[in-house]
């Protein structure tokens, strides 16, 4: 095998800072998208179980529409499909201020919002109906009941699937490279094309994703143990 290993391309020379820049971009895009997804997911998940049919229909439309189309298509939609619909002034401003990045954030956020919505809906539906009835009978409105009683419990119940979705979101941020976002996967390919050290670049990228995702999963696991509701969850074996 003629391949010469050269690990220094990862941290020195022209290509030295790229991995770090890519990681920062990935973290930024993932965090912003996660916030959007979480907010959309909570609203949509709640609306899916609301007593009002139009609200349920609206939320179902959102979920089915956005989760049944590949994320890659959504990336192109938000980057190429949305700007022409905006006024020219907004378009010009947007293109000068990181249109690629924001298109990526919205594509990722809205897509995962639909997926979070299903996860939260499952959590809400796991709560006995009697809770909502009791809340309503104490004089709370439906909105208040959801905000004060149902949601806090539901969110604590769905931490495992939410961890799954969060990790998925971080990994899916790599799709943004198709619209020119210089995130981690993009940078590993960039290092590879500039230095031909494919093995080092790809291994570094793999390890970084692993570390980030495992860290998130560990934090969520800790949260899960601390916030477990006694009596509502079957005790499993601790990891």
Partner 1 sequence: MKRSLIVGLIALVTSISGYASAETTLEKIDKSGTLIIGTRTGSPPFGYVNKNNEWVGFSIDLVEKAIVPALSKKLNKPIKLDKKESAPQTRIPLLTSNTVDLIAETMTDTQARRDQVDFSLTFFVTGAQFLVKKGTPIKGIESIAGKRVAAQQGSTNARIIRERVPSAKLVEFPDQPAAFQALAQGQVQAYTNDGIQLAGLKAKAPKPDGWAVVGEFYSYEPYGMALRKNESDFRQVVNVGLMDAISSGLYFEIYDKWFGAKGELPYALTAEAKRFLQMQVVPK
Q: Site residues (CB under 8 A) for partner 1?
A: 2, 76, 79-80, 83-84, 91-92, 95-96, 99-100, 177-180, 182, 186, 189-190, 192-194, 196, 198
**What is the Cα–Cα distance from 171 to 187, expressed in whole angstroms?**
15
**Of 106 and 186, CB closest to partner 1:** 186
Q: Considering the complex, what minimum distance in angstroms separates the CB of residue 108 from partner 1?
A: 17
DSSP code string of 47-66: HHT-S-HHHHHHHHHHHHHH
| Among 74, 42, 48, CA closest to 60 | 48
**Of 60 and 178, CB closest to partner 1:** 178
**Of 11 and 80, CB closest to partner 1:** 80
Q: Considering the complex, what minimum distance in angstroms separates the CB of residue 186 from partner 1?
A: 7
**Of 90 and 229, CB closest to partner 1:** 90
Q: Considering the complex, what minimum distance in angstroms separates the CB of residue 224 from partner 1?
A: 38
CA angle 205, 218, 31 (to 5 degrees): 60
Distances (CA, A) of 220 to 123, 137, 165: 16, 34, 12
**Of 38 and 79, CB closest to partner 1:** 79
- Contact present, 53 and 127 (Cβ < 8 Å): no
Q: Considering the complex, what minimum distance in angstroms separates the CB of residue 119 from partner 1?
A: 31
**Of 38 and 101, CB closest to partner 1:** 101
Q: Considering the complex, what minimum distance in angstroms separates the CB of residue 169 from partner 1?
A: 21
Rg (CA), the chain: 21
CA angle 157, 161, 165 (to 5 degrees): 135
**Of 2 and 137, CB closest to partner 1:** 2
Q: Considering the complex, what minimum distance in angstroms separates the CB of residue 68 from partner 1?
A: 23
| Among 31, 17, 15, CA closest to 212 | 31
End-to-end alpha carbon distance in the chain? 41
**What is the Cα–Cα distance from 181 to 58, expressed in whole angstroms?**
32
């Amino acid at each position: 095998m003629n391949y010469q290993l050269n690990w220094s391309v990862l941290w020195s020379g022209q290509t030295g800072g790229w991995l770090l820049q890519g990681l920062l971009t990935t973290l930024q895009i993932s965090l912003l998208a996660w916030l959007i997804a979480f907010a959309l997911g909570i609203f949509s998940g709640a609306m899916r179980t609301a007593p009002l049919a139009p609200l349920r229909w609206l939320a179902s439309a959102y979920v089915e529409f956005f989760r049944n189309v590949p994320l890659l298509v959504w990336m192109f939609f938000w980057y190429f499909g949305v700007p022409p619909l905006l006024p020219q002034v907004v378009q010009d401003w947007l293109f000068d201020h990181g249109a690629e990045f924001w298109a990526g954030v919205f594509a990722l956020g809205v897509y995962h919002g639909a997926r979070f919505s299903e996860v939260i809906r499952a959590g809400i539906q796991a709560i006995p109906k009697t809770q909502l009835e009791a809340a309503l009978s104490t004089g709370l409105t439906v909105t208040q009941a959801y905000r004060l009683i149902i949601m806090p419990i539901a969110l604590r119940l769905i931490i495992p699937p939410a961890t799954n979705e969060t990790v998925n979101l971080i990994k899916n941020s790599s799709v943004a490279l198709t619209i020119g976002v210089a995130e981690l996967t993009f940078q590993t390919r960039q290092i590879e094309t500039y230095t031909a050290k494919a093995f080092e670049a790809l291994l570094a990228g793999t390890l970084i994703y692993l570390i980030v995702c495992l860290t998130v999963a560990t934090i969520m696991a800790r949260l899960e143990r601390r916030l477990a509701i006694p009596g509502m969850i079957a005790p499993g074996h601790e990891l």
